[in-house]
Structure 1
Amino acid sequence: MNLLDIFVIQREEIKIDSQKIKAVIFDVDGTLYHLKKIYNMVRLEIINYYLRNPGKVGDIQIITDFMREREKHALDVVDDVENAQYEWAAKKTHSSPEKVRQVVDKWIFQVPLKYMYHCRRTDVLELFHKLIINGIATGVFSDYPAAAKLEKLGLFPQCIVSATDKNVGKLKPDPKGLLIAADILGVAVEDCLLIGDRDDRDGECARQAGMPYLILD
């Protein structure tokens, strides 16, 4: 099946050897939904919440530092990235990892879910469904847990891999999770396509893995 017969992204042809592609692995945040749009919605809810609860306004710094520290330490080699991400932010904000986990779970993992469907990238979701119809395997590799987001988007790929999974434990651009996803799908790396939104994370991850990739605007 020729991908060029399936889909055109933003009216530009996919510049790959599409005849070889047997599986497509998607990033999630910023790829399957509009990240900035959902950030704006959540930000408004955060402002309204902490205006009513000024005693908890320090949580905003925890949210900010969690995301910043995760970016800052993306290339760090750690034994347990799932717990390390909370420890990085806890050290920065002088709070406990448990407190960071509680705030992050609410504002980064739970609240955005109710906006997910309204912020979906319809063109990319159309591609996802057409791939399935045409017998091309689909997978997901995300830096964050993705199952709940995919359910809200109505997507059910054949494999879901997160950087924080115990068998991965590496943030992008480390290619470990991408290689695991290809292995689960049973497709050679060079016969997969990664679709993401960040060249410094998704693009570099694919390059290190030796996998063709497409970076969306």
Structure 2
Amino acid sequence: MSGAAIPPDCRLVVFDLDGTLYRQGPVRRAMLRELLLDRGHPGRLARLAILRRFRELREGMAFEHQGDFDDRLFARLAQETGRDEEKLRALVVDWMERRPLRHLRCARVAGASELFEALRRRGIAVGVWSDYPVVKKLAALGLTADFIASALDPLIGALKPDPAGLREVMRAAGTRPDETLMIGDRMSRDGAAAASAGVPFLLLGRRAPSGIPHVPDFHALLPQMEGA
């Protein structure tokens, strides 16, 4: 823990979801095992290649700064793979949204539930902002948020590091940037978005660039909450 604290005037904490509220490594390993054992169509290796390419294309689109990224993403994926766009959408929903849900609770970051409760006891609202759908993942994690936002929401339509989602959560909560804290696991996306919106940032991770506050998990923040 390095310089990590909830600011004294904080009224809203916005959490990234994937990689912040749960560890992605265990979930991805579980999904890889499941995919390699599944005999569905298309074949195992073809499915794996499609899903990897989907993730690569989506990561790259974060810096294109154009609207309708989801439609453009699947159109490009269909063109590259020669497969039907609607079938590709169904494949992605199945393997990247639906099937991982049962693995999330076991991968939840230590102290997440306790921190959510402690924040609310102090009158601090909890927001969750993700590049992917939020509602079902939060339910699978056993967590609830006061405000949620997804890059797929019509009012947002932009991937991180575009700060549109963070600004929408602040608008809904009625908070200013100096009353808000963003917590995420990626400096290049979560940290950059927070900086663009003028919001303080806390990195979840064991290491961080010099001068960046960070914590290895959420238990590290609980003593401050309990002593408030």
Instruction: Provide the TM-score with structure 2 as the length reference.
Output: 0.84
SS of residue matched to 2:99: helix
User: 1:163-190, CA deviations, whole angstroms, 9 ceiling, x for partnerless residues?
Assistant: 1111100000000111001110111122
User: 1:135-171, CA deviations, whole angstroms, 9 ceiling, x for partnerless residues?
Assistant: 1011111000110000111211111100111110000
Q: How far apart, in 1, do the equivalents of 2:64 and 2:185 lie?
A: 22
Q: How far apart, in 1, do the equivalents of 2:143 and 2:103 lie?
A: 15
Give the counterpart of 2:88 among 100, 103, 118.
Answer: 100
Q: Give 1:14's aligned residue.
A: 4
Pick 1 or 2: higher relative contact order, CA cutoff 8 A, min separation 6.
2
Q: Is the 8 A contact 2:127 2:145 kept in 1?
A: yes
Question: Is 2:43 the counterpart of 1:56?
Answer: yes
User: Which stretches in structure 1 are left out of the alignment for 5+ residues?
Assistant: 1-10
Q: Is the 8 A contact 1:22 1:136 kept in 2?
A: yes
Q: Is the 8 A contact 2:61 2:69 kept in 1?
A: no
User: 1:99-157, CA deviations, whole angstroms, 9 ceiling, x for partnerless residues?
Assistant: 21011011000000011111101223321221112210111110001100001112111
Task: Count the aligned residue pairs.
Answer: 204
Q: How far apart, in 1, do the equivalents of 2:196 and 2:79 lie?
A: 31
Q: Give 1:174's aligned residue.
A: 162
Question: Is 2:48 the counterpart of 1:45?
Answer: no
SS of residue matched to 2:127: strand
Q: How far apart, in 1, do the equivalents of 2:177 and 2:40 lie?
A: 50
Amino acid across the alignment from 1:19? P
Give the counterpart of 1:31 among 12, 20, 29.
Answer: 20
SS of residue matched to 1:150: helix
1:76-155 alignment, distance < 5 Å:
76-155=64-143
Q: CA RMSD in A?
A: 1.6
- Give the C-alpha shift of residue 12 in structure 1: 4.5
Identical columns (%): 35
Q: Is the 8 A contact 1:27 1:197 kept in 2?
A: yes
- Give the C-alpha shift of residue 13 in structure 1: 4.7
SS of residue matched to 2:169: helix
Q: How far apart, in 2, do the equivalents of 1:184 and 1:55 lie?
A: 42
Q: How far apart, in 2, do the equivalents of 1:78 and 1:43 lie?
A: 32
- Give the C-alpha shift of residue 54 in structure 1: 7.3
Greater shift, 26-35 or 80-89, is seen at 80-89
Question: Is 2:181 the counterpart of 1:193?
Answer: yes
Greater shift, 94-103 or 201-210, is seen at 94-103
User: 1:178-204, CA deviations, whole angstroms, 9 ceiling, x for partnerless residues?
Assistant: 100111011112210000000000000
Q: Give 1:6's aligned residue.
A: none
Q: Give 1:162's aligned residue.
A: 150
Q: Give 1:65's aligned residue.
A: 53
User: 1:43-64, CA deviations, whole angstroms, 9 ceiling, x for partnerless residues?
Assistant: 1101111xx3475232221111
Q: Is the 8 A contact 1:168 1:177 kept in 2?
A: yes
User: Which stretches in structure 2 are left out of the alignment for 5+ residues?
Assistant: 206-228
Q: How far apart, in 2, do the equivalents of 1:55 and 1:188 lie?
A: 48
Instruction: Provide the TM-score with structure 1 as the length reference.
Output: 0.88
Moved over 6 A (4+): none
Amino acid across the alignment from 2:119? L
